[in-house]
Amino acid sequence: MGQRNLLPRRSLLLYLLLQATRGFSSGGASSLPLVLNTWAFQKATETAWNTLHSGGSELDAVEKGCGQCEIEQCDGSVGYGGSPDEHGETTLDAMIMDGNTMKVGAVADLRRIKNAIGVARKVIEHTRHTLLVGESASFFAESMGFPSEDLTTQKSLSIYLKWLNQSCQPNFWKNVIPDASKSCGPYKQSAVFVKEEQNVSERRIDVHNHDTIGMIVIGQAGSIAAGTSTNGANHKIQGRVGDSPIAGAGAYADSTAGAAAATGDGDVMMRFLPSYQAVEYMRTGMDPTMACKKVISRIQKYVPYFFGAVICANTSGSYGAACNKLPGFTQFHFMACNPSLRQPSEEIVDCI
Ligand SMILES: *[C@@H]1O[C@H](CO)[C@@H](O)[C@H](O)[C@H]1NC(C)=O
Ligand SMILES: *[C@@H]1O[C@H](CO)[C@@H](O)[C@H](O)[C@H]1NC(C)=O
Ligand SMILES: *[C@@H]1O[C@H](CO)[C@@H](O)[C@H](O)[C@H]1NC(C)=O
């Protein structure tokens, strides 16, 4: 009898030992620490993961992870040299949130500074403010030691020149003269308002021109941080700020409930505070994938053709994502890394 029991007992012991070395993981879907980020920005995931493992905090990991995308100019949608505005200039939006203290640092319409999320971090550490914008944010950045550089590159210049050459199409104006669907500005307001159609051909921001990085990091002890970085929308009107630097819109983190981050058409998404909403759903115990889906479907009710996706993670490290299905955007790719995955892994979710 004793002999017979020995083998299974030994393998049970071995199994427990293996699980222990894996950080008591209970499967790919939930083990800590966790790094989760939008799109297939693998180096960002890797950088955040390595930052945690070399003793960095969750905030350090988010800052370095998103910062990696600013250096790499991920998909041309993060960092310098992408998404020139109507005057050809690249401006940056970023935020970082500490889910333990609920402190947020953010910059919007930041000019001539490459490391936007680095500046956002300084807003937390060296001011009592939450959000700094425009030229003044750039002066703040310079006072914190960030170099002032031209964010224009050959690539952003050629995007801009091509757009000028095609009569400034597409653009974000409406109800103006001259007719913005045919001509460049300067524009004046028109007395006649045209009825709007919220359909595919009306979209100005889609999968080809807007891939913000949003990142969630949960440490071994359950501290959560989140952040974003983007260069906004191609050909945006000067002064435009999207969802990324807005707490609760671009990202949200609460170490007692979870975190979420969004990517897509910020002009639409920021009206719904999708990241805040997803975290509040998870606070009630809702599964992360379901929480992501619920916020996407709420926006769908008002704007069926919006371009957007959300990633969600709860306090135990379970995670998920959801996206709004459009022609040409039926799946959303995101990155995850935790002790069970062992390395940054690309995950794919079907849009709803
Ligand atoms: C501008 O557009 C025209 C066609 O509309 C094209 O022939 C020309 O090469 C373009 N110029 C530049 C600089 O892109
Ligand atoms: C979208 O709106 C345009 C006019 O703005 C119209 O011509 C087109 O048929 C509409 N497409 C769909 C799919 O509704
Ligand atoms: C996180 O989500 C998973 C999967 O739905 C669930 O099993 C777990 O209980 C959740 N954790 C918390 C703290 O709600």
The tens digit of pLDDT for each residue in 158-198 reads 999 999 999 999 999 999 999 999 999 999 999 888 887 65
Which tokens is 114 given? Answer: 């490459």
Ligand nearest to the CA of 289: 3
Q: In a 3-state reduction of DSSP, which class is residue 93?
A: strand
What is the C-alpha end-to-end distance of the chain, expressed in Å? 55
Q: Which ligand is nearest to the CA of 159?
A: 1
Mapping DSSP to helix (H, G, I), strand (E, B) and coil, where does residue 328 land?
A: coil
Q: Which two tokens stand for residue 173?
A: 């104006």
Query: How much is the pLDDT for 164?
Result: 98
Q: Which phi and psi angles does 307 have, rounded to 5°?
A: -100, 120
Ligand 2 and 343: CB distance under 6 A: no
Interval between CA 165 and ligand 1 midpoint (Å): 6
Distance CA 127, CA 105 (A): 9
212 part of the active site: yes
Query: Residues 47, 212, 228, 315: which is the catalytic one?
Result: 212
Q: Tell me what pLDDT residue 206 has.
A: 60
* Distance in Å, CA 189 to ligand 3 centroid: 51
Q: Which atom of ligand 3 is nearest to the CA of 315?
A: 13
Beta pairing class for 176-177 and 188-189: antiparallel
Please work out whether the CB of residue 199 comes within 6 Å of at least one atom of ligand 1. no
Instruction: State the chain's mean pLDDT as an integer.
Output: 91
SS (H, E, C) the chain: CHHHHHHHHHHHHHHHHHHHHCCCCCCCCECCCEEEEECCCHHHHHHHHHHHHCCCCHHHHHHHHHHHHHHHCHHHCCCCCCCCCCCCCCEEEEEEEECCCCEEEEEEEEECCCCHHHHHHHHHHHCCCCEEEHHHHHHHHHHCCCCCCCCCCHHHHHHHHHHHHCCCCCCCCCCEECCCCCCCCCCEECCCCCCCCCCHHHCCCCCCCCCCEEEEEECCCCCEEEEEEECCCCCCCCCCCCCCCCECCCEEEECCCEEEEEEECHHHHHHHCHHHHHHHHHHCCCCHHHHHHHHHHHHHHHCCCCCEEEEEEECCCEEEEEECCECCECEEEEEEECCCCCCCEEEEEECC
CA-closest residue to ligand 3 atom 14: 285
Q: Which residues line ligand 3 (CB under 6 A)?
A: 285, 287-288, 314-316, 318
Is residue 162 within 6 Å of ligand 1 at its C-beta?
yes
Give the distance (Å) from ligand 2 centre to CA of residue 269: 22
194: Cβ contacts below 8 Å, ≥ 6 apart: 174, 175
pLDDT at site 9: 53
Of 30, 294, 318, best ligand 3 pocket probe by most atoms within 8 Å of the beta carbon: 318
C-alpha of residue 320 to centroid of ligand 3, in Å:
11
List C-alpha distances in Å: 112 to 73, 154, 284: 15, 16, 42
If one residue of 195, 196, 197, 303 were mutated to test the ligand 2 pocket, choosing by the most ligand atoms within 8 A of its CB, it would be 197
pLDDT at 19 over 50: no
Return the residue matching tokens 């435009």: 240
Mean pLDDT to the nearest integer, 252-280 = 97
- How far is 171 from 135, CA to CA, in rounded Å? 23
Ligand 1 centre distance from Cα of residue 159 (Å): 12
323 pLDDT higher than 50: yes
Looking at the domain covering 23-152+209-350, what would its CATH class be? Answer: alpha beta
Phi, psi of 99 (to 5 degrees): -75, -5
Reported as a pLDDT band with limits 50, 70 and 90, residue 14 is low
Q: Which residues contact 191 (CB under 8 A, 6 or more apart)?
A: none
Q: Are 282 and 291 in contact (CB under 8 A)?
A: yes
Rounded CA gap, 320 and 148, in Å? 38
pLDDT at position 8 over 80: no
29 alpha carbon – ligand 2 mean position (Å): 41
Global pTM? 0.89
The per-residue pLDDT for 23 is 39
Question: Do residues 225 and 232 make contact, with C-beta atoms less than 8 angstroms apart?
Answer: no
pLDDT of 324 above 90: yes
- Cα(151)–Cα(93) distance, rounded to whole angstroms? 13
Give me the residue label for tokens 């609760």: 248
Please choose from 165, 168, 169 the residue to mutate so as to test ligand 1's pocket, defined by most ligand atoms within 8 A of CB: 165
Residue 165 CB–ligand 1 contact under 6 Å: yes
Residue type, 223: S
What's residue 247's pLDDT? 98
What secondary structure letter does DSSP report for 342?
-
Does residue 3 register a pLDDT over 90?
Answer: no
The pLDDT tens digits of the residues spanning 72-122 come to 999 999 999 999 999 999 999 999 999 999 999 999 999 999 999 999 999
Better-predicted residue by pLDDT, 8 or 334: 334
pLDDT at 131: 98
Give the residue extent of every domain in the chain: 23-152+209-350
